[in-house]
Structure 1
């Protein structure tokens, strides 16, 4: 009879057991490092989401126990809430206008920064700063100094004999003021575009130049197709941010005039923390989640026709 040390099967079993113990130990170590994030994610994201879903079927004012009302909140949203319609309309208009303008402007500046001029790194940092401080009280004050009745814009218009407005209080222009503010915060997508531009091989442009291609042709035949994955990412990210826009309207216009800047997130906030209808606000939040999911799904499905992945030799 062979000893266990001389038995290949026994050696293999011993090796497998040791490997499993080693893998288990490594998994436990990895899990211990991940545990703070997991605890936070479950406690501050998954837990509140589940609770808010429950609250969306209740009448809850944060002072008394939630009272189950079934689908009443959702029925009211879609049948008897004009402010829901107004806030969703304002938000959709805002997203459809601000997101394309922001991406176009960010790509334009990124292409300028990619030309390699001296000091381009400093300019990139300067252009990125508004994305960091754009939702602050300081920016709200600056914007009021520019677009207020006695603001800088009206002073410039007065030089040309044009009478200005209190742009925040004018129903036709208030939303555009906020759109300009958001487009001005183009730093984040610009940095991502700049990273994408620097990944495009220079040999492609050299070959195109040999073929006699100009800048416009290079842009549409090389730059734009190879940037479509980056455009796709920026589009999804900025679209979601657009639907959740809150701070700018809250600090500058407070939803006025006549609800022309009543963004959906601002209306949700009012229902939750001004009117203390937390159950109804939870239902509004879940409706917003579904709307964002639907729009994201549509963009993902459409990406098969316009997003180009070079590694796949064609579109996604």
Structure 2
């Protein structure tokens, strides 16, 4: 007589699956730990250089000038009612409202042209990126050569009987500052647009042209819809770079420039020199909140368009 032993196959499968799941869980756990370890230096830098200083600025915005007495919202009220703050805030908003859309539009047009003309495009990319590599002192020297009373622009206009003057101290100073911002950041945005354009498959354009679509239709119905996600990133970076033009304006025009180019950074710099830390902290918090709200609004709009 032969005996057959039944194997508990169901139980073995359950135990095997449990061991496999435990093994996968351990692998994921170890992988997460390794990822956090790799991120630890960067997270530490962000915490020490950004989060803690911002919290300290937020704390100081509710204290008096000595940092000893709590004054509530008095610093914010003082800042908002300050005439210089209103002038600087208005100039900064106008500057960003003019510069950022103009920069995005010009850089996109040039990027599309460079993508279609690859032979000359590689050379022109280096030309457009050159201003970013120039030190601020060199840019200031260039502006002095171009726009001072004895500069190139005054000499050129003198040929037509126009009297020379320091153009950085006239109502044209705002246009010069806009030109400076676009000239310096154009190459950076062009590179970002080119990277975004490279992600669009060329087969889509070929199929559209076979169906009779023109350049305008391809741009509106293929290029722009595929660039929405990249547009948010480029817009945010351009907005942040708009606050970095202060160095050129400050080195050329000093602490108190012509009123059309008196920006928030000028005001904050003067408050810092006067040791008005409470007003400086309140102004910085207000500016940070406005930037945060703007970025959140843009993100909502772009997410809605993308979806």
Superposition pairs of residues 75-94 of structure 1, within 5 angstroms: 75-79=77-81, 81-94=82-95
CA distance in 1, matches of 2:290, 2:144: 32
CA distance in 1, matches of 2:177, 2:188: 18
**TM-score with structure 1 setting the length:** 0.82
More displaced, 276-285 or 31-40?
31-40
Q: Over the residues paired in the alignment, what is the CA RMSD in angstroms?
A: 2.8
Aligned-partner SS, 2:275? coil
1:52 maps to 2:30 = no
Aligned-partner SS, 2:119? coil
CA distance in 2, matches of 1:212, 1:115: 19
Aligned residue number for residue 138 of structure 1: 138
Task: Determine which of 35, 53, 69 is the counterpart of 2:40.
Answer: 35
Aligned residue number for residue 104 of structure 1: 105
**TM-score with structure 2 setting the length:** 0.85
More displaced, 255-264 or 52-61?
255-264
Cα distance change, pair 236–30 in 1 and its aligned pair in 2 (3 A) = closer
Cα distance change, pair 35–301 in 1 and its aligned pair in 2 (3 A) = closer
Superposition pairs of residues 298-309 of structure 1, within 5 angstroms: 298-303=297-302, 307=305, 309=306
Quote the offset at 1:16 in angstroms.
Answer: 5.8
1:287 maps to 2:265 = no
Aligned-partner SS, 1:199? coil
CA distance in 2, matches of 1:18, 1:10: 12
Cα distance change, pair 104–255 in 1 and its aligned pair in 2 (3 A) = farther
Cα distance change, pair 160–77 in 1 and its aligned pair in 2 (3 A) = same
Cα distance change, pair 26–193 in 1 and its aligned pair in 2 (3 A) = closer
**Structure 2 spans left out of the alignment, 5+ residues:** 1-6
Quote the offset at 1:100 in angstroms.
Answer: 1.2
Superposition pairs of residues 132-281 of structure 1, within 5 angstroms: 132-133=133-134, 136-170=136-170, 172-185=171-184, 186-243=186-243, 245-254=245-254, 256-272=256-272, 274-281=273-280
CA distance in 1, matches of 2:224, 2:21: 52
Quote the offset at 1:43 in angstroms.
Answer: 1.4
Rg larger in 1 or in 2?
2
Aligned residue number for residue 70 of structure 2: 68
CA distance in 2, matches of 1:221, 1:161: 51
Higher helix fraction (1 or 2): 2
CA distance in 2, matches of 1:121, 1:141: 28
CA distance in 1, matches of 2:144, 2:209: 48
Cα distance change, pair 138–67 in 1 and its aligned pair in 2 (3 A) = farther
